[in-house]
Structure 1
């Protein structure tokens, strides 16, 4: 089996991720256990917009650098979630793609769309006007590691300005993630994906984070 490499496209990965206020002990263990990683993933920052839907927990939609990515939930195995890239789109987005792919992913009522294509600002205006959708501004400060051949990360995340912390391990191999969870001492911590975390922070879902 070839080792998983950061930044490479692979078959759908399984993922453990959690969110809270403080994972400093686990983050220190992750850093000490990590193999060397490419300098480009030592520290990355990005501004993104996630589109939250009250009626959808199966498709994860984010916009970064003018491009939209949608990942779809595949399955959960041994408490680890598998997600698969579903579509990519660039602005301006055609009415056809909004009707056929993007709004079906939100699982909401289709708004009236009168234009043939929509710019980023026009698309966000549609989201803002929709009762079941919300655009959420996300800033990520990410620190990359590699533990047990799994792609790992510690991230400081701002959700509309509210700071939370994320830590994760992902791989195509379940056993490698389970070992990493144990090694960094995150056993028993709830697996929370970005959709769930953002919904909890903005009050769309009445549940706490992991700590």
Structure 2
């Protein structure tokens, strides 16, 4: 029996410094410290969150945006490579919103997928992402301060996530973050690499 996924509402921002808000977060006990390296595939015609990490193609789709501009993302695909050309065609049509390439193979390893199908496509761009995530729990919500790199471009981000959107906004206000722009990973990444 698979574990039921409870969608969380997300508030995220990017800046070089977060001032007093960061100090307020750090007064709480830090939980996990997570390092990761992943490849995101950005599309000019789509804002799907498409990444490859730990040998897995992982896609999250934006389900809803509420009155406070909080976003609710939900996993819509998890798959491994080699991947058949039929599944790859679905990636291009449903997620990348890009023309389906001419296939020369029945199935592709991830390396062949990138080199032969993704990189030649003018609509798509591969972004190498490194993350160092400092995880805190505040009022039952996950609060993250992360140092990230998008193709080597340094970025800093704070995120607040919880199933209850009112709790997310309460924490955002208590931390003094409401003056920062709420911006998701894909939008920030597109801006950083010039794919707006």
In structure 1, what is the Cα distance between the partners aligned to 2:157 and 2:146?
5
The answer to whether the 8 Å contact 2:150/2:192 transfers is yes
Q: Cα 1:142–1:112, aligned 2, differ >3 Å: closer, same or farther?
A: same
The match for 1:14 among 9, 26, 49 is 9
Partner of 1:71, secondary structure, is strand
The match for 1:108 among 98, 106, 125 is 98
With the length of structure 1 as denominator, give the TM-score of the two structures.
Answer: 0.86
Q: Which residue does 2:146 correspond to in 1?
A: 155
The match for 1:177 among 163, 168, 178 is 168
The answer to whether the 8 Å contact 2:141/2:160 transfers is yes
The answer to whether the 8 Å contact 1:148/1:179 transfers is no
How far does residue 104 in structure 1 lie from its aligned partner after superposition?
1.9
Q: Cα 1:162–1:72, aligned 2, differ >3 Å: closer, same or farther?
A: same
In structure 2, what is the Cα distance between the partners aligned to 1:188 and 1:23?
10
Runs of 4+ in 1 over 4 A off after TM superposition: none
Determine if the alignment matches structure 1 residue 75 to structure 2 residue 64: yes
How far does residue 201 in structure 1 lie from its aligned partner after superposition?
0.3
Determine if the alignment matches structure 1 residue 146 to structure 2 residue 137: yes
In structure 2, what is the Cα distance between the partners aligned to 1:66 and 1:102?
19
How far does residue 115 in structure 1 lie from its aligned partner after superposition?
1.2
In structure 1, what is the Cα distance between the partners aligned to 2:70 and 2:185?
14
The answer to whether the 8 Å contact 1:51/1:61 transfers is yes
Determine if the alignment matches structure 1 residue 65 to structure 2 residue 51: no
Q: Which residue does 1:50 correspond to in 2?
A: 40
TM alignment of 1:85-124, pairs within 5 A: 85-101=75-91, 103-124=93-114
Q: Which residue does 1:84 correspond to in 2?
A: 74
Cα distance per residue 1:43-62 (max 9 Å; x no partner): 111100000000102x1101
How far does residue 35 in structure 1 lie from its aligned partner after superposition?
5.2
How far does residue 10 in structure 1 lie from its aligned partner after superposition?
3.2
How far does residue 103 in structure 1 lie from its aligned partner after superposition?
4.3
What residue ranges of structure 1 are gaps of 5+ in the alignment?
Answer: 1-7, 206-211
**Higher mean displacement: 177-186 or 20-29:** 20-29
With the length of structure 2 as denominator, give the TM-score of the two structures.
Answer: 0.93
Cα distance per residue 1:150-209 (max 9 Å; x no partner): 11100000011110101000111011101110111101311111100100000112xxxx
